[in-house]
Amino acid sequence: MSALRTVRAALAGVACLLLIACGAPDAGPVGDVTDASPEVVASPEVTEVVATAAARSTDARDPEGHVFSINGQSDPNVQVDVLMDTYDVVVIGRVVESLPARWTTPDGLRPTDLYAEMPHPYTIATPYVVELDLPDGLRSLPGAVIPLNGRAKELLGAMGDRIVIAANGGTVGKDSVVDSTESGLLTVGDELLIFASMHRLDDSQAPPEQLLPTESGMGWWASYRYVLGKDGFATINDRTMPTARLAEEILTALSYQ
C-alpha cells in the first residue's frame, strides 16, 4: 500500500480499527472490557505462515479466560472511490460457512503471554467461506472478485467459485474477542459486497501481508461491507443505495486506477 493510500485511508477513517495502542492490554477475566485506539499499517510483503486447529490451553494465571472488546467509529459517509483506493480486493457473494475461530499467531496457538501480546500483534479471528456470485444489479462488474492492485491479483491467482474471508472476533477455548466495528463477524446466509485486505489493518506490529491460513484456503481480511438485499438495494452504515448505482461507482473508480 503506498504512502498516499495510507494517508487517504486515515483521513477517511476507513483504514483504522480501534484496538489497544502500544503495549499489553489491561485485560481481566471473562466479562472485562478492553477499549482501543487507532493503528495504521505499512506497505505489504509476503509472509508464509502455517496454521493448526489446536489452541494452547488456558494457563493457571487465567483460569477463567478473557474477553477483549474492539470498539470503533468509522466514517458513516465513506465513499466507494476511497474504499477502492484503500483496500486490496472486492469480493461479492454469499456467506455459506463459518469456520472455527483461531488465534492469529503463526502456529494458530494461544499467545504465550496473553497480557503482552493481545491484541497486538495477535488476536482471535473467525474465517468464513464465501460462495462467489454476482446478483443482477452488479452484473456489469468484471467479476465477483476484483483485485485492486497487482499484488492482490498475483495472490488471488486462478480463482474458483469460493474464497475465504477472515473477520476480527470469535471465541477460542475460554478466550473471546468481540468486534463491534465493520470488520467484525459476518452472518452465514448474507449476500455481501466486501472490501477486503491482505493484512490486518488494525495491527502495525504484525507483518503487513498476513493472509489468515485456514484448511479451506488463505483468508482475506474483511473490512467495509455492503449487505445486498433481494430488493436490488445495498446497505452500508445504515445507508441504502441501489445496487446498480453501487456498480456504477465501482466501475467509475476502476476507470481511474
Residue spans of the domains in the chain: they are 3-38+64-255
pLDDT bracket for residue 209 (50, 70, 90)? low
Strand order through the sheet with 67-70: 67-70, 175-179, 170-172
Check pLDDT > 60 for residue 188. Answer: yes
pLDDT, tens digit, 9 for 90 and up, residues 210-220: 899 999 999 99
Per-residue pLDDT at 147 exceeds 90: yes
Q: What is the pLDDT of residue 47?
A: 29
Higher pLDDT, 181 or 40: 181
Q: What confidence tens digit (pLDDT) does each residue in 80-120 have?
A: 999 999 999 999 999 999 999 999 988 888 988 887 887 77
Those residues with Cβ within 8 angstroms of residue 171's Cβ, 6 or more apart along the chain or in another chain: 101, 124, 177
- Span 31-72, pLDDT tens digits: 443 443 333 333 333 223 322 223 344 444 556 788 888 777
Cell numbers describing residue 135: 446478483
Rounded Cα–Cα distance for residues 29 and 139 (Å) = 49
Q: Which residues of 167-200 are buried (b: 16+ CB within 10 A; e: fewer)?
A: bbbbebebbbbbbebbbbbbeeeebbbbbbbbbb
**176-194 average pLDDT score:** 91
Q: Which of 249, 130, 149 is nearest to 194 (CA)?
A: 130
pLDDT at 251: 97
Residue 181: which of 53, 78, 28, 96 has the closest Cα?
Answer: 78
- Total-model pTM: 0.75
CA dist 176 and 124 (Å) reads: 7
Residue 192 has pLDDT above 60, yes or no: yes
